[in-house]
Each structure stands twice: as structure tokens, then as C-alpha cells.
């Protein structure tokens, strides 16, 4: 089953949006298989955003991610990578559609509340960067037949 990595950034945690974010993914029908509140090391933040290391915002992005705890999550379900990106909304909250997390709760690109993997291969890399295999639960909800034909 497809998996994605989501991270509620420090602003999402500080603004008491953990429950709201989890609720939206649960309600959609995705399954939570990994969850932890954690302080992020500079090394992990830099590795996570390695693809952006030449961008002018890289330093402030890393400083922001390590500034306060985040919630790291792995979610599972058919098409979860692309679907979670839709639920999250566009990178700039001012462009994100109402009804998305960023569209409903954000106003600034540097405070856009949540990260979501952008592709299946990226998700695999990010899940192994943030979670040990034994931290993930292999389980199926009893409602699976009511979610999938």
C-alpha cells in the first residue's frame, strides 16, 4: 500500500492545528501508520530539505524547522501521496484553495504549516529519513472494505 510522509511544522503545532490536520486525513480515509512529536536536529532538517540547499530561503527554512517541535507522520492509502498534497494545498498559502489546510489556515509561504512528500520515491526517502522501521505499525482498519471496492 502507498505511503507518504507528512510533517506538521512548528507553526502548525504552535497554532494548535495537530488535531485538525490529523482529522482531515482520517476523515478522507487514510490510515495513520507512524506518529511522533519531536524536536528536529539541524542535521535532519538539512537532509530533509537537501533538494533546496542552493535556494536563498534554505537557511531560514532550516532555522524555522528546528525552532520548535514538529509532528512527523506516515500515512497509508491508495493514492495517498498525491491526495495528501491536494489536502495540504499549494506551497504559498495565499494561492492555496480554500478547503485546503494551507488555504484555510495560512497567509505566508514561510509559515505554511505542513510538509507533504511530492512523489512516491520522495516519500520513501523521507519515511526512512524520519522513521525507523520498528516505529511504523503494520495494521489494517476494520473499515477497509467500506473504503475500497
Residue span binding ligand DAT (CB under 6 A) among the ranges 17-25, 33-41, 105-113, 129-137: 105-113
Annotated ligand binding at 57? The verdict is yes
Helix axes 18-28, 80-88, angle to 10 degrees: 130
Q: Determine if residue 28 is labeled as part of a ligand binding site.
A: no
Concerning whether 138 is annotated as a catalytic residue, the answer is no
Q: Which does 61 bind (CB under 5 to 8 A by kind): Mg ion, ligand DAT, none?
A: ligand DAT
Evaluated on CA atoms 74, 80, 82, 85, the torsion sign reads negative
Smallest distance, Mg ion to C-beta of residue 94, A = 17
CB nearer Mg ion, residue 92 or residue 118: 118
Sign of CA dihedral 11, 14, 19, 20: negative
Stretch (H or E) spanning 16: none
Q: Tell the smallest beta-carbon distance from residue 132 to ligand DAT (Å).
A: 24
Per CB under 6 A, the list member of 23, 43, 50, 57 interacting with ligand DAT is 57
- Taking the C-alpha atoms of 17, 18, 19 and 21 in order, what is their torsion angle to the nearest 10 degrees? 80
Going by C-alpha positions, the residue among 108, 68, 106, 100 that lies closest to residue 84 is 100
Looking up cell 505542513, which residue turns up? Answer: 114
58 annotated to bind ligand: no
Applying CB under 6 A, which residues contact ligand DAT? Answer: 52, 57, 61, 91, 109-110, 112, 115, 118
Instruction: List, by residue number, the catalytic residues.
Output: 115
Amino acid at each position: 500500500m502507498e505511503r507518504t510522509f507528512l510533517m506538521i511544522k512548528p507553526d502548525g503545532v504552535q497554532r494548535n492545528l495537530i488535531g485538525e490536520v490529523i482529522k482531515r486525513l482520517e476523515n478522507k480515509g487514510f490510515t495513520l501508520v507512524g506518529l511522533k512529536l519531536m524536536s528536529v536536529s539541524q542535521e535532519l532538517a538539512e537532509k530533509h530539505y537537501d533538494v533546496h540547499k542552493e535556494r536563498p530561503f534554505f537557511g531560514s527554512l532550516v532555522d524555522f524547522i528546528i525552532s520548535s517541535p514538529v509532528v512527523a507522520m506516515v500515512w497509508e492509502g491508495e493514492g495517498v501521496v498525491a491526495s495528501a498534497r491536494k489536502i495540504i494545498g499549494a506551497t504559498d498559502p495565499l494561492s492555496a484553495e480554500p478547503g485546503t489546510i494551507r488555504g484555510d489556515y495560512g497567509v505566508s509561504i514561510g509559515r505554511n504549516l505542513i510538509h507533504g512528500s511530492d512523489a512516491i520515491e520522495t516519500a520513501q526517502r523521507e519515511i526512512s529519513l524520519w522513521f525507523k522501521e520498528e516505529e511504523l505499525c503494520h495494521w489494517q482498519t476494520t473499515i477497509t472494505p467500506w473504503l475500497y471496492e
